[in-house]
Structures are given as C-alpha cells and as structure tokens.
Amino acid sequence: MLLADLARTSQQVTATSARSQKVALLARLFATAEPSEAPIAVTYLAGRLPQRRIGVGWRTLTERHSPAPTGLLTVAEVHSVLERIAAVSGKGAVQQRRELLATLMTAATEEEQQFLVRLISGELRQGALDALAVEGLAAAADADPAEVRRAVMLGGSLGSVAEALLARGPEALAEYRLTVGRPVQPMLAHSAKDVDEAVGRLGPCAVEEKLDGIRVQVHLDGDSVRVWTRTLDEITDRLPEVRSAALGFAAEQAVVDGEVIALDEQGRPRAFQDVAGRVGSRVDVSAAQASLPLSVVFFDLLAVDGEDVLDLTTADRHARLARVVPETQRVRRLVVTDPMDPEQRSAAREFTAAVRQRGHEGVVVKALDAEYRAGRRGSSWLKVKPVHTLDLVVLAAEWGHGRRTGKLSNLHLGARRPDGSFAMLGKTFKGLTDAVLEWQTERLQELTTATHDWGVTVRPELVVEIAFDGVQRSTRYPAGVTLRFARVVRYREDKDAAEADTVESVVALRV
C-alpha cells in the first residue's frame, strides 16, 4: 500500500460528512491492502503511531524539506523508518532522529509530508474512525460488522483482527473468544449534563461512583493474576495491591473491570497525577507502594469460572460480581428501578452529591439491561461530572496542518498573574469550528507581535472560554500546572484580559 493512497483516503474521509461514504472510502482502501499492512494502516488512519512516541520534537518535525515529485513511499517503509527513529537513544540521539526523519520527509510528496507531520504530532487523531474502520473492514471482507466488532473487543486490537480478516476471510473471526489472560477492549461512557438527564435517557439504571484513577482489567486464573490498563498495556508487576485483591476473589477464574485509586489520611481521593505517577513507576515497586499505597475498586464482571458473561445484562453481571468480589472492593452504587418516581430521582441526585462531597469525579449511570460492549457504541453508560471552564488569554498560536493549513490553530493559553502578566497553562486546538478558525486566524494576525516558523506571538488581549476536565501539576509550564483535556467553548469578546482568570484560581482547582 502506498502512503499516498492512505493519506488521500484520510483526507477524503475527513472531508465528507456522510457516514456511508466514509465507510465506502475505507472499504476501498482495505480491499487493496496486504494483510500485513492492515494493522499499520488502521493505526495511521486513526491518527496514532504504533510506536506511540518517537522522540521527535515540534521544531524538528516542522523543518522544511523539498518534497518528492511522485508518491512512491509504502506504508511499510514509513513504519520501518519510524521504528528506527523510536529505537534511537544515547548520545547524539536528537541529531540521529533528525537525519532519519529528514530522509523520510524528502522521499515524501508535499501531501504525504503534511500527513506525516499531522500523524506524528498527534493533530491527525481521529478516535471515532475506529468504529468506521470496523465497518470498512467488514465491507472489504464481506463480513458481518457486528462479528468484526465483537472480534475487535475480544482480540484487543483492531489491527490484529484486520490482518486476520483480510488474510483468511470471515471464518477467521471465530477464533476470537473471551480468554482469561488476553485483555478485552473496555466499554466506555458517553456524557450527560446531569444525573436527571442520564436517568431519563436510560430508564431503569444503576448510578455508580466515577473514580478518577487508572482503569484496570484484572484476569485471575488460579494463582496467576494479570493486570492491564484501558489501553491494554500490561502493568501487573507494578500493582501488587491488585494481585492481593484478586487472589481473595471467590472464584478460580475471573475477568473483572475496575479502577485503581489512592486515598489520603482522611479517606479522600488523591490527585489523578499521583496515581498515574505511582502506576508508572517501574524501578522500585516496593518503595513506591510504601510511599503511595493504592486501592482497587471493581465495577463489572466479564467472565467467571469459565463462563463468558459479556452478553448478560448489567443487573445480572453485577449480581455475579457481588458473589465474587467483597463489598469493600466494589464501587458504591444506587439502583433506580423507576426513573419516573420523583423519590428515586431525588435519591439519585443526593447520591451524586454525596459522591462529589467525598471528593470523587461524579457518577456513571448504567442501563440495567445493557450488555458489555467495547468502546462507546450505543449510550448504555453515561458519565456525569462537572465541566470546569476558565476565561484565559491567547498568548500565541501555531499554524495548522492538513485541513487547517494556512489557519492559526493550536492556541497557547495563559492565566493572569498578580502583576498583570500572564503564565502559560498549556495549548489546545480542540473545539474549533471552521468558522471560528477563519475568524481567529484573521484576529490573531491583527494582534501579532512576532512571527515564527511555527506560528505567531500575539498581544495578550483576546479572551477565550476554555472547558477542561481538571488541573494537574506540570514542570513544563511556569505556573507549575496545566489543564487536562482543554477545549475551546467560545471567544469572550465581551471581556478584556484584565478580567481573565488568575493563576491563583487555577492552582486552587488542583486536587
């Protein structure tokens, strides 16, 4: 498969709004792919790298290279070069990566260069494309999309299923069953603005605590315990507390879904960043455990003692979970049997308020009749948590790529210091419509004080309302904090920079 074909398909999929047309474009591409190319192609199309990070900074990535006149690069060749870049380490690594990247870029056409920059920088990221790719693969191989979807959930990887499906056809899907010791892609939640909306949409449901920790999937098989994250990275050796908890289950075999959190002396949750740092610690796990012990809380059961229970309802799965996992290790929950009952609605609101008062994120509302299905397909789980917003000042902006070429896209965001200057808190290019992009490009150029290869620095005058999920520590930014999942809500032309939120108020939001 040529990179040119993949880049062109990516652009065409982005340009069309019709789901059927997107699926048809993907099906046509997959029909021409060799099975061994499918895992790479699927990953690239979703805007991800198999290597995740390759150690190339923005400045190196955006260096100018004369494009090739003709697209001859194959997807396999690109993957090989990126593998080599990711493997570079030690003295002189930066220069060696730069040289390898330059070789790749000079072999790419201008269209391919733009695709590669967006891919490597993360600006191409299209999480929703995974669902479309399933349908495209099914069409290319004449398979049932539901069977492909289930195989991906049980196989843990869209790429591996794509390779098997293109190599052996629909019969290959029968190989994919829930197996203890092989991780399953997790079920995810959509959002609702409040618990009343969630209960109204789902009908009979369970309202459960939403814990701000690390999602874990635990597989017990006799004395063997293995643990994976939501991205299916194995972290068994880093979590002895989870192993101990699993060995106490009332089962010989089990696959359970849960969350790892840390609690302070008052029993309130520690910051997500503390938990992430502990889970990421590989060197001295015993010392890390002594410094920050973790607790694990389980909320779903996928299999028990040789039985796959994915197709059972939420109510039935939880009943079995209760027989396997002690109450102290199960998530707190409230069952709403009649969503029209005012008393039950009131109880759901009170439960949600109590969860927040204990310091947790919010709640997840789950339909009692829902099966366990990977990803966000359907709306059987709805998360309810407060969305924070801040009024921040735009300090600079970076030029976009691909569809955003020629537009100032990635905003540098700042909060107000006591002396009237501004401290940068992070960047975002999310939440921008085409109309806003046009407007902000023109407006920011009017405010430009310096131009750079990457973009412009601007007078700190333009106020923008930013939604975000939380504040966490960061050594990268001067205030020592940054925003989690920041996205643009709207510009506040009714406010001037002196009315922007302060660094002090932002820091106060960090838990």
**Coil, helix or strand at residue 269:** strand
Under DSSP, the state recorded for 454 is S
Three-state secondary structure string covering 58-121? HHHHCCCCCCCCCCCCEHHHHHHHHHHHHHCCCCCHHHHHHHHHHHHHHCCCHHHHHHHHHHHH
**Coil, helix or strand at residue 187:** strand
Pairing state between β 381-384 and 190-191: parallel
d(CA 326, CA 321): 9
* Other Cβ atoms closer than 10 A to 11: 16
d(CA 490, CA 431): 9
Burial class (CB in 10 A: 0-12, 13-18, 19+), 459: middle
Under DSSP, the state recorded for 55 is -
Residue owning tokens 């690239």: 44
| 210 classed as catalytic | yes
| Extended beta strands in 406-509, E state | 408-416, 422-428, 448-451, 455-458, 463-468, 470-473, 481-484, 487-491
d(CA 362, CA 86): 38
Q: Can you spell out the DSSP letters for 410-437?
A: EEEEEEE-TTS-EEEEEEE-TT--HHHH
Q: Can you spell out the DSSP letters for 287-344?
A: HHHHHS--EEEEEEEEEETTEE-TTS-HHHHHHHHHHHS-GGGB--EEEES-TT-HHH
Q: Which residues contact 313 (CB under 8 A, 6 or more apart)?
A: 368, 369, 370, 371
Catalytic residue among 22, 91, 193, 210: 210
Asked if 463 contacts 496 with a C-beta cutoff of 8 angstroms, the reply is: yes
Active site residues: 210
